[in-house]
A and B are shown apart, each in its own frame.
Chain A
């Protein structure tokens, strides 16, 4: 199949798809004219029912919590998949770079990069924890906070402190943290079942004032666990890729 033939077939298929899409588009109510009832209903009742002023996080962890459990496990499985796919196959050895690589001489990191990366590690960790623990009050949540935590880890790698990086890199600690996060979310739901409620029912006290950090029951707790799990998953992925680059020399490199 020549590239020209492939491109021609692609354009033919795309023309058909766009025709159907535009035809379906004509039946939509238009941008800004949201007709459906669910958005209005949830906006009206969410603060009263859950004492959480961040309605999006309330939807994520309370009204639609079961789907979020599934998505969190997708993340967990993807991180485990990366670790599995990049495992050490027969014939690969760890340690040292292969001499055939053209960039055998890596220049040292400049001082400016080292300093600014190290400067930002602290604020990144702090911001990550803030986002993960304030899901119910402001635009925040476990997912964003977890990714920011993993970014702090990548900053340590950027700063060239390789010894620290090796010491911090997973290890049983990060693996255990990921497992605790994923299991914690599921365990909260199971605790509700043990107490006689449906799965993932909000059984903790809801707090008195809407929008306080300790209010909204299980939403804050679930967001905290999700933050741990997402951070651990991304740290694992980044560390796997870095290890591939720096330590694994190939078998039969061409």
Chain B
């Protein structure tokens, strides 16, 4: 899978001049693998929740887990977005809808 073109190789070499990495790559791998596994488990828990209110709470913590995953993937902007939207705004909208809908059932 090596890309062709000498200018491309030169660009990659030039871009990888300085890396301030002080964490050992093995530790970073461990962090990413563990958060990925926890995120997969979190998605399963969200889907298998029984009542809607419990699922909203599970979805909120799933949003927090996703924000941690995005941080581990070196994307702080996306983590900030996911935190404000997926852990705060979306559960608020869902709870408001559930309050409206379940207040009139039976």
When A and B assemble into the complex, do they touch directly, with CB atoms less than 8 Å apart?
A: yes
**A147-B89, A241-B93 known; A139-B100 Cβ under 8 A:** no
What is the size category of the interface that chain A forms with chain B? 35 or more
Residues of the A chain whose Cβ atoms lie less than 8 Å from the Cβ of B37 = none
Residues of the A chain whose Cβ atoms lie less than 8 Å from the Cβ of B89 = 147, 150-151, 154, 234
Residues of the B chain whose Cβ atoms lie less than 8 Å from the Cβ of A103 = 103
Q: Cβ of A102 and Cβ of B103 under 8 Å apart?
A: yes
What's the minimum C-beta distance from A55 to chain B, rounded to whole angstroms?
10
**A44-B15, A253-B104 known; A151-B81 Cβ under 8 A:** no
* A224 CB-CB contact with B under 8 Å: no
* A244 CB-CB contact with B under 8 Å: yes
Q: Which of A114-156 contact B (CB under 8 A)?
A: 131, 139-141, 143-144, 147-148, 150-151, 154
A103 to B, closest residue via Cβ: B103
Q: How far is the CA of A241 from the CA of B101 in the complex (A)?
A: 11
Q: How far is the CA of A240 from the CA of B88 in the complex (A)?
A: 17
Pair count A-B, CB < 8 A: 73
B32 to A, closest residue via Cβ: A31
Q: Cβ of A245 and Cβ of B103 under 8 Å apart?
A: yes
**A29-B1, A40-B15, A237-B93 known; A148-B84 Cβ under 8 A:** yes
Residues of the A chain whose Cβ atoms lie less than 8 Å from the Cβ of B76 = 139
Q: Mark each residue of chain B from 37 to 77: 1 if its CB lies under 8 Å from any CB of chain A, else 0.
A: 00000000000000000000000000000000000000011
Residues of the B chain whose Cβ atoms lie less than 8 Å from the Cβ of A49 = none
